[in-house]
């Protein structure tokens, strides 16, 4: 494992496995693994990066809210606890959720189940359905939110 994965302690990795599997369980009918799958879990742990402190905080708060026995709760109780924690907001749970979802949707098995090629989106790109571009008219008509330094260069 790389330094980020090694930065999470064994209890934190165990907690991460349980949280990830609760957030995205395996589905045999769809043929997809859960986010607690060893390959996906390794990708999650490897991808922690700058969010290490927030991920640690989220895992600790989830464990604290469960009385230190998150893994011992039944699935419905774990889901309710995570949903309640997420509803309360905060950077820690958002970082944890983003980390888990990002790694999950990078997995080739998940992409194939969604009928996507298991590849990076570029250089080939993906075809997107065209939407209603008029929805951006309000944004286009708004004054810039930044200083345009190109105007200063022209004078």
> Can you give the pTM of this predicted structure?
0.75
**What 3-state DSSP class applies to 32?**
strand
71 pLDDT higher than 70:
yes
39 pLDDT higher than 70:
yes
The mean pLDDT of 113-138, rounded to a whole number, is 84
119 pLDDT higher than 50:
yes
| Pairwise pLDDT comparison (2 vs 67), residue with the higher score | 67
Mean residue pLDDT of the chain comes to 89
**Upstream peptide bond of 59 is cis (omega within 30 degrees of 0):** no
pLDDT tens digit sequence for 125-137: 777 788 888 888 9
- Give 154's pLDDT tier (boundaries 50, 70, 90): low
Separation CA 89–CA 110 (nearest Å) = 27
Q: How far is CA 14 from CA 11, 103, 117, in A?
A: 5, 17, 31
Separation CA 21–CA 55 (nearest Å) = 16
122 pLDDT higher than 90:
no
Q: Which two tokens stand for residue 88?
A: 């309360």
The mean pLDDT of 56-63, rounded to a whole number, is 96
Q: What angle do CA 110, 10, 48 make, to 5 degrees?
A: 50
What percent of the chain is predicted at pLDDT more than 70? 93
**What 3-state DSSP class applies to 21?**
helix
Q: Which two tokens stand for residue 69?
A: 């026995």
Element containing residue 3 per DSSP (H, E): helix 3-7
- Give 93's pLDDT tier (boundaries 50, 70, 90): very high
Separation CA 34–CA 113 (nearest Å) = 13
Q: Tell whether the torsion through CA atoms of 62, 66, 69 and 73 is positive or negative.
A: negative
Confidence (pLDDT) at 1: 45
- Is 44:16 a contact under the CB 8 Å cutoff? yes
């Amino acid at each position: 494992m790389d330094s980020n994965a090694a930065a999470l302690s064994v209890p934190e990795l165990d907690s991460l496995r349980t949280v990830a599997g609760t957030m995205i369980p395996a589905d045999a009918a769809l043929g997809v693994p859960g986010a607690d799958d060893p390959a996906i879990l390794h990708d999650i742990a490897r991808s922690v990066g700058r969010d290490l402190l927030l991920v640690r905080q989220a895992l600790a708060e989830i464990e604290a809210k469960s009385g230190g026995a998150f893994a011992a709760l039944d699935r419905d109780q774990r889901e309710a606890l995570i949903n309640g924690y997420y509803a309360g907001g905060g950077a820690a749970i958002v970082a944890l959720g983003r980390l888990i979802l990002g790694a999950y949707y990078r997995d080739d098995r998940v992409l194939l189940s969604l009928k996507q090629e298991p590849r990076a989106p570029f250089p080939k790109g993906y075809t997107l359905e065209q939407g209603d571009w008029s929805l951006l008219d309000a944004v286009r008509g708004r004054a810039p939110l930044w200083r345009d330094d190109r105007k200063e260069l022209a004078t």
